[in-house]
Amino acid sequence: MAEKRVALVTGAGRGIGACIAKTLAADACDIAVVDYSDASAAEETMRELAELGAAARYYQCDVSGFAAVKAVADQIVKDFGKIDILVNNAGVTADDLLLRMSEAEWDRVLSINLKGCFNMIKHVTPYMLRKRYGRIVSISSVVGLMGNAGQANYAASKAGIIGLTKSVAKELGSRNITANAVAPGFIRTAMTDALTDEQKQAMYKLIPLGSLGEVQDIANAVKFLVSEDARYITGVVLKVDGGMYI
């Protein structure tokens, strides 16, 4: 039996991150669940990972903290022996029109969404370099490609992830480390479920496939990009948006 790979997934306590973690666990990966929520929020995810046969541990960490991320990366390697896959999924929003957006709202979103990716890549890749193997996938967004009124901070952070991904792909490709991004469109979540039918219909009109995506659609894209089927793919932005941005 092939040796299991170890995947570090940020923001894995719930939502898209939890789905990514479970999808990779079902694909013979052990999982380091990194999340800033209470441990109780990740309890159900941890239980499901165990049922899937994965060795899983939870690490509470604010990814915007440079030293904190280094400590977590070092601890994960001590616990699991290696990190083969890094999925940068942790992210927040603080939406407002630019004229009303506060400095704190700008700084928080950029620090977690973009600097968090930098921190993780910075501290995880030395371990990948030693093994001459690594798969990095960062979750961007179609708004990082097209912009969105009321989300200048979020769009900037997600556009930044794309530039970071392409740069990392060029720097580390010679060491058999790939770096790619996934750009989700409108995905069905608790937030979209709360929208009115009128609001949902307005969203559907923007999507050629005429429906919202599911969290599993994002997890499937990540699973592909970290697989051997994608061994010759690096520096790409894989849109999972139903054709919303073409």
Question: Which of these is catalytic: 36, 59, 127, 154?
Answer: 154
d(CA 191, CA 165): 28
For the question of residue 133 being annotated catalytic, the response is no
d(CA 76, CA 34): 10
Q: Determine the 3-state secondary structure of 60 from DSSP.
A: strand
> Which of 11, 215, 179 minimizes the C-alpha distance to 85?
179
d(CA 204, CA 218): 18
What's the token pair of residue 40?
């109780």
The separation between the first and the last C-alpha atoms of the chain, rounded to the nearest angstrom, is: 42
Q: Determine the 3-state secondary structure of 36 from DSSP.
A: coil
Catalytic residues: 154
